[in-house]
Chain A
Amino acid sequence: MNPTELFECVTSLSCIVTQTSTGLIVGALLFLVATGLTLIFGVLGVINFAHGSLYMLGAYLGLTGYRMTGSFLLATLIAGAGVGLFALLFERFFMRRVYNADVLMQLLVCYAFILILDDAVKLIWGAEFQSMGMPDAFQAPPLFVGGGIIPLFYLVLIAAAAVIALVLWYVLTKTRTGKIVRAAAHNPTMTSALGLNTNLIYAGVFACGGVLAGMAGALAAPVRSMSPGMGFSILIESFIVTVIGGMGSVSGALVGALLIGLVRSFGSIGFPSFVEGIMFLAMALILVLKPSGLMGREPRV
């Protein structure tokens, strides 16, 4: 515990800038993962406990894609497409069988995949820590803002997440596809009665969540080291984000992710060993006071 250092930090501009930028990239990555999780929950009503593993798969696919093509953009796209395809198959052949079973069966299937994917990654890419290193395109001196340091790649990452968020927002609110997805979330029976193929919608949403998690993994690759099992912590943090924002709410995921990102980066100065504790305290408080989350609708009961 070191509250004085936290106080010193929030009174100096350079520290605020540095920590805020770190918090924003953590938040941006978390948003991409959590938004898929919350979309799947909102539309399908199931929790994809294996979502963290999709993120891990994205990071490793991104690594291979980058080594093969030498282009970070291509690597990110490859990761997104690959994980999206995997999510599609996972939904079609495994998750669809347990939609009507209770949450424990869904948990079990996902848990099996967490274990299998961790070992598959170990087999293909090795058990040791790996890192992509900073791609050449972003090998530039960092920016200095008010004495604080912001690496160029941080800005790229935040911009990429912002673009993805905007596209998602546009598709969900302005297009016909988005309307159908929201209708399916609101009332699946009615949507299906109107002649829309809910199975297709479910598959699409699951794949979309996979694409987002995969791209998040690839985007994180230059700034995070990779290891099998890296999906665990991001899964738990995505849970926190989804609960704080409101399960099923995309805007809630954005607010929750930025909040958790900032708590993480500033908290690591003031009380490094209790950052997780603070996040879980926040989650518990939200669940007790407003279970539907900051931005969520009232639960349908």
Chain B
Amino acid sequence: MNRSTTFAKEILWALLVLAALLAIPYLTASRVALDFVIRLAAFGIFATSLNILIGYGGLVSFGHAMFFGGGAYAFGLLMQKAGTSIPVAMLGAVLFCALLGLVIGAICVRLKEIYFSFLTLAFAMLLHSVILSWISLTGGDQGLMGGIPRPVFFGIDLSKTTTLYGFACVVGVLSLLLMRALLQSPFGYTLRMVRDNAERARFLGINVWRIKLYAFIIAAGFAGIAGSIMALFVSGAYPEFAYWTMSGEAILMIMMGGLHVFIGPVIGAALLLLFNDMVTRFTELHGLALGVIVLIFALGFKRGISDFLVQFIRSLKKKRVTP
């Protein structure tokens, strides 16, 4: 099967998922379900964008929240202070994050392994500190107050929950499809080669630094989209968006969902969001329960759920072939 037909198949899949998601509001009037999917769109994009770095590039960033937070603030400020329309503000947020990614990535991707991780953490916390202390612009620890307006564009009115829901679904599925296309392109395969054997890639004439930087910028841009959706949903932006716990949560989503299957981080995001919603309803000891689950993943499955399933199915198939 050649690449274009594979990709046509993936577009078909994406359209099917989108259609199913858009049908949900007609089946249930539950706000909880709609809110869940909107948050899943934001966190699914966020975790998948980080997985471009971690899973496909082998670049373990501890500071990806800076682009989630950066995107949320850029989007919110453009809406509040510049009064732009929603698509323009989103584009602005993506551009802002990509530029930030260009500058910070250019510095970070030179470093290896844990040093790269710590440098990204340092820059993310630096941005968090700037957000906290630049009170006149960002509102400091109170966050971006006053709400983010949702003006009508192209006849789309996002102040209605169902419309916002549809918008988040479309943006979410489109972003995932775009990331998938990028990762299946020659660029995506070069990135995998750099991850597996940078020396060999360099020998073949690939500029390793530049490939890593491109990955960093792309991941930053998509995290900016995720941040914008979140800002739109909560109608504000908060310093916690850029805090290291947010980076940690994305890593947790990737690790729970699986980092070698494209859709893994989205599954992980759904699992973690579901878990947070469920457990807080039953027990105060949310951390204890999550901690035990994380331990089961780390020491039991030793991989995310999708990686585990893929391997399990493969091993079943093998057994069937060998008599």
Contact = CB atoms under 8 A, between A and B. Distances in A.
A39 B119 CA distance: 21
B209 interface: no
A297 interface: no
A239 B121 contact: yes
B291 A47 contact: no
Nearest to A283: B122
B54 interface: yes
B129 interface: yes
B114 A287 contact: no
Nearest to A278: B129
B167 interface: no
B214 interface: no
Interface in B85-135: 107, 111-115, 117-119, 121-123, 125-126, 128-130, 132-133, 135
B26 to A, nearest CB: 39
A284 B112 CA distance: 14
Nearest to A292: B115
Interface residues of B, number: 42
Contacts of B132: 273-274, 276
B295 interface: yes
A288 B119 contact: yes
A101 B60 CA distance: 14
Given A108-B294, A109-B299, A288-B119, A277 B130 contact: yes
Contacts of B19: none
Interface residues of A, number: 43
Contacts of A107: 251
Interface stretch (B33-41, B67-75, B282-290, B312-320): B282-290
A256 B126 CA distance: 18
Nearest to A284: B122
Contact of A236 (B54, B125, B291, B294): B125
Contacts of A122: 284-285
B307 to A, nearest CB: 12
A116 B291 contact: yes
B288 A119 contact: yes
A273 B136 CA distance: 13
Contacts of A116: 287-288, 291-292, 295
B16 interface: no
Given A108-B255, A115-B294, A280-B125, A287 B133 contact: no
B58 to A, nearest CB: 9
A277 B126 contact: yes
A287 B111 contact: yes
Nearest to B248: A111
A104 interface: yes
Contacts of B107: 284, 288
A125 interface: no
A280 B119 CA distance: 9
A231 to B, nearest CB: 12
A1 B121 contact: no
Given A113-B291, A119-B288, A284-B126, A108 B119 contact: no
A280 B288 contact: no
A101 B255 CA distance: 13
Interface in A268-291: 271, 273-274, 276-277, 280-281, 283-284, 287-288, 291
A287 B288 contact: no
Contacts of A47: 114
A47 B114 CA distance: 9
A109 B251 contact: no
Interface of B: 54, 60, 107, 111-115, 117-119, 121-123, 125-126, 128-130, 132-133, 135, 140, 244, 248, 251-252, 255, 284-288, 290-292, 294-295, 297-299, 302
Given A112-B298, A116-B291, A277-B130, 20 more contacts: A1-B133, A47-B114, A103-B117, A104-B54, A104-B60, A104-B251, A105-B302, A108-B255, A109-B298, A109-B299, A113-B291, A120-B288, A122-B284, A122-B285, A274-B132, A277-B126, A277-B133, A280-B129, A288-B107, A291-B111
